[in-house]
Chains A and B, each alone.
Chain A
Amino acid sequence: MEINADSSAGVAPTHQAEPLNYLNHKKGIASWLFTVDHKRIGLMYLALIGVALFLGGVFALAVRTHLLRPSDKMLTPEQYAQMFTLHGVIMIFLVIIPGIPAVLGNFVVPLMLGAKDVAFPKLNLFSWYLFATGVVMALVTLFTGGLDTGWTLYTPYSSTSFSNVSLVGTAAFIMGFSSILTGLNMMVTIQTMRPKGMTIFRMPLFLWAAYATGIIQIIGTPVLAITLLLLLMERFFRVGIFDPAMGGDAVLFQHFFWFYSHPAVYIMVVPAFGVMSELITVHTRKTIFGYKAIAYSSVAIAILSVIVWGHHLFVSGQTMRTSVIFSIITFAVAVPSAIKVFNWMATLYKGSIALTTPMLFALSFLFTFGIGGLTGLFCGALAIDVHVHDTYFVVAHFHYTMIGVVMVMLGGFYHWWPKITGKMYHERLGQLSAVLVFIGMQMTFLPQFIMGSLGMPRRYYWYPDEFSMHHHISTGGSYILAAGFALVAFNLIWAIFNGKKAPANPWGGATMEWYTQSPPLPHNFDSAPEAGDPYDYTKVHWDNEKKEFISPYVQ
């Protein structure tokens, strides 16, 4: 790795006033493509995910715009099926699953540990290449037949569809390995590379979340890999495993798929919980309430998440006894999730809440995820689910949880952006973007709850007039939401070029990523800092002359 970098790193950047950091110590595209630095790899993930988020957003807008007046036939039924499928696949596999673990996980985890890098830096780069390969393949699909099966890829349609299921399946298979290897890397890093003084109960809660996410990735993703492999075999050789006409089992695919894809929900949500815990305490400048409860609940969710998949099969003909068991376990997941929400609210209580952009996103999450989680209980209840199954109610439910995650992700980007780029974003614009995202989100999906409960099925190309008001409000909301996302992107990019220089510790955080300079040194820390209580804000002092927070053990 060093060899490639030498050509560009020969001359020290003496002409720059900026001190040496991970961004300026080597230059040139090769120094990025062959880097093993976890911070740069995190940013490379961000670049790909940004492109994917844009595409997925455009597809969503196409769907919503079509539904504004379906009689105009803006899309053909085939195109419409392609749009919502690609929107789902891209947003889930390319944006939300890798979003927090790969971008923020890569960047923040080693810094929080006071470590120089993740445990396996080369493997980390390899994971990125796997992911990039998957992204490229997914993009190629857009021009080679697309995908029209819905993101769930259910057989038998997916094993016979003329759209390019094979390529998407292979892409998801490859990205699955990227996800497994990232999870593995994070788990090993957290378990073996903690600094002196950091017992497991002194780990920042983001690390607990990253570890729990790793557990789910390692348990769930291999099963997805084998499922996709079987699907490919089914398409190429008609092996008959999933095909009743060939002696196969009709719902086995659904079992396999959800054995991964329900835990995948928590691969997306648990890291967001971790970010939440950091945002809430730093921006209220108050110790986290119920540290152990939050930490253990992450692990509890990780374990429970792999035994609830059957709640997606309530109407698929599984036995009533099985359904009841899955329903009960599903209700049980609400307990650790609620524990977290109550602890965050208790943290806010009598804290000095600063309504910064990250905090606004965190509060948006509390509200949005609260609704998403509670309506999850509706869907998990057998009698109600039979009524709302495959309606807009379900669509609204999972968008409330998933966009909740995206809100935290954006809040996390804002929160660590000064550390990542060394520049401050525009606070007012940031707040405005948070408000737009929040309003757009509620406006888009609240009407969907209502029309879902009135019986509007999901994925339909057409709807009767009685639903037009709901659809119109929803589409209007989606434009506001899109404007909010665009403003976030603008603000973060604007900060890189025009932002004020960020201090080492702009928020007065007590975790170790704030101990090093912004942006960090190439190897993070000159000497490993000693860890204390990550949420003890008394040890971070406000220096009135410098007008900035001073961390202990400043590098």
Chain B
Amino acid sequence: MSDSHAHHDPHLAHHFDSHKQQFTAQKLGMWLFLATEVLMFGGLFVAYSVFRYNHPQMFHEGHKHLNWILGATNTVILLFSSFTMAMAVRCAQLGNNKAVIRFLAVTFACALGFMCIKYVEYSEKIAHGHLLGNLYDFEHKSEGAEGEGHSAVTHESTEDASRKSTESKPEAETQEEAAARIEGEKNQHVFFSLYFMMTGLHGIHVLVGMAIMIWLFLRARKNEFTPTHFAAVDLSGLYWHIVDIVWIFLFPLFYLIS
């Protein structure tokens, strides 16, 4: 590079004229990226709507296997982490790196807590054979034999699955209710496909968020954030809020169906 560029402010990339221009560009870039994220999840939400519309019973049956208390706890945890993330951004804007570290640590702990609860939920599903696609336990092998029954099960025809469920129903119910329940139980693997793909993709985003927090954490320890140079925290904060918002939609759509 020619020497006229050597004396630049290290925080200002050589192709930008000013901090303001650089920050505007970064912010716009982040918003556009988040738009693509929303659209990507949007595809899955459309798939969800199509199936919810075509097979309402499937969702009604499926959601009974989800633990709404764990889901609600996770919602609270993520909401709180959004607040602490916002505080970290505020502190970065003030150049208070110590406080940035503290708030990031809390946010990270929340994210970790979220993933732990997800782990508990997932292992419970796996133990019951409530898995996606052809991994779903169509023959209910794992029922009553928790913990050992999650060997991969090959796909049985759906008629078989529905016959099983007809046999194993004790309570009295009207014919219509029974028909709806059987119809719902028949397609449980699709419900869990949607559940695992949507919460799974969201979970990956949480993990990425945690990696970003570690990176910010290391930078804050070097006192890198100043009132003129805080874009990294600010934009990561935006990302984290989107991850949060996606969950706000996922929670009622899967856990609160009635």
Interface residue stretch chosen among B97-105, B120-128, B186-194, B240-248: B186-194
Residues of A within 8 A of B (CB): 2, 115-121, 123, 180, 184-185, 187-189, 191-193, 218-219, 221-223, 225-227, 229-230, 233-234, 236-241, 245-249, 252, 256, 522-523, 528
Given contacts A121-B15, A223-B43, contact A188 B158 (CB under 8 A): no
Q: What are some 29 contacts across the A-B interface (CB < 8 A)? A: A2-B1, A116-B14, A117-B14, A119-B29, A121-B13, A187-B28, A188-B29, A191-B28, A218-B36, A218-B39, A222-B36, A222-B42, A226-B42, A226-B43, A230-B197, A233-B197, A237-B134, A238-B133, A239-B132, A239-B133, A240-B133, A240-B190, A241-B193, A241-B194, A246-B133, A247-B189, A249-B54, A523-B14, A528-B17
Contact between chains at A247 and B186 (CB < 8 Å): yes
Which one of B33, B37, B46, B190 lies within 8 Å of A246 (CB-CB)? Answer: B190
Q: How far is the CB of A40 from chain B (nearest CB, A)?
A: 14
CA distance A528 to B15 in the complex (A): 11
List chain B residues, Cβ under 8 A from A193: 15-16, 21, 25
List chain A residues, Cβ under 8 A from B16: 193
Q: How far is the CB of A11 from chain B (nearest CB, A)?
A: 16
Q: CB of B58 within 8 A of chain A?
A: yes
Q: Which residue of A lies closest to B48 (CB)?
A: A241
List chain B residues, Cβ under 8 A from A218: 32, 35-36, 39
Q: How far is the CB of B157 from chain A (nearest CB, A)?
A: 8
Contact between chains at A119 and B25 (CB < 8 Å): yes
Q: How far is the CB of B248 from chain A (nearest CB, A)?
A: 19
Q: CB of B64 within 8 A of chain A?
A: no
CA distance A528 to B40 in the complex (A): 38
Q: Which residue of B lies closest to A242 (CB)?
A: B47
Q: Which of B1-17 contact A (CB under 8 A)?
A: 1-2, 5, 13-17
Contact between chains at A239 and B44 (CB < 8 Å): no
List chain B residues, Cβ under 8 A from A120: 25, 29
Task: Summarize B's interface: helix, strand, loop or mixed.
Answer: helix
CA distance A192 to B41 in the complex (A): 28
Q: How many A-B residue pairs have CB under 8 A?
A: 124
Q: Which of B38-81 contact A (CB under 8 A)?
A: 39-44, 46-47, 50-51, 54-55, 58
Apart from A187-B28, A230-B197, A523-B15, list 6 A-B contacts with CB within 8 A.
A192-B21, A218-B35, A223-B40, A226-B42, A241-B47, A256-B43
List chain B residues, Cβ under 8 A from A246: 133, 155, 158, 187, 189-190
Q: How far is the CB of A59 from chain B (nearest CB, A)?
A: 30
The 10 closest A-B pairs by CB, nearest first: A226-B43, A237-B133, A239-B193, A247-B187, A116-B15, A222-B40, A239-B133, A222-B39, A117-B15, A238-B134
Q: How far is the CB of A172 from chain B (nearest CB, A)?
A: 14
CA distance A116 to B42 in the complex (A): 36
Q: CB of B238 within 8 A of chain A?
A: no
Q: CB of B166 within 8 A of chain A?
A: no
Q: CB of B135 within 8 A of chain A?
A: yes
Q: CB of B151 within 8 A of chain A?
A: no
Contact between chains at B50 and A233 (CB < 8 Å): no
CA distance A120 to B27 in the complex (A): 12
Q: CB of B24 within 8 A of chain A?
A: yes
List chain A residues, Cβ under 8 A from B21: 192-193
List chain A residues, Cβ under 8 A from B33: 184
Which one of A185, A223, A227, A233 lies within 8 Å of B133 (CB-CB)? Answer: A233
Q: How far is the CB of A381 from chain B (nearest CB, A)?
A: 28
List chain B residues, Cβ under 8 A from A247: 55, 58, 158, 186-187, 189-190
CA distance A233 to B134 in the complex (A): 11
Q: How far is the CB of B202 from chain A (nearest CB, A)?
A: 13
